[in-house]
Amino acid sequence: MHTEPHDPLALTVVSSHRTSEGLVSYLRCACGAWEVRTSTLVATALPRRSSIKTID
């Protein structure tokens, strides 16, 4: 995962729909982070780290 801001041209639009407040777009970065964009807001959600235990 990277710490720099996500390159808007590198994000993939997964879903986009209209709401009563305008267009909402859900984008995904190759690092696994999600961005939710509206005309007035950009929110980012990072994926959780896996806590899968293995038997060695």
Token pair in block for residue 43:
């929110």
Angle at 14 between CA 13 and CA 18, to 5 degrees: 85
Query: Rounded to two decimals, what is the model's pTM?
Result: 0.67
Nearest CA among 14, 9, 18 for reference residue 45: 14
Is the per-residue pLDDT at 50 higher than 80?
A: no
Over 80: is that where the pLDDT of 54 sits? no
The stretch 6-27 carries a mean pLDDT of 89
pLDDT of residue 16: 96
36 contacts 26 by C-beta, under 8 angstroms? yes
Q: Give the C-alpha separation, 43 to 5, whole Å.
A: 12
Mean pLDDT of 5-11: 77
Rounded Cα gap, residues 31 and 33, in angstroms: 6
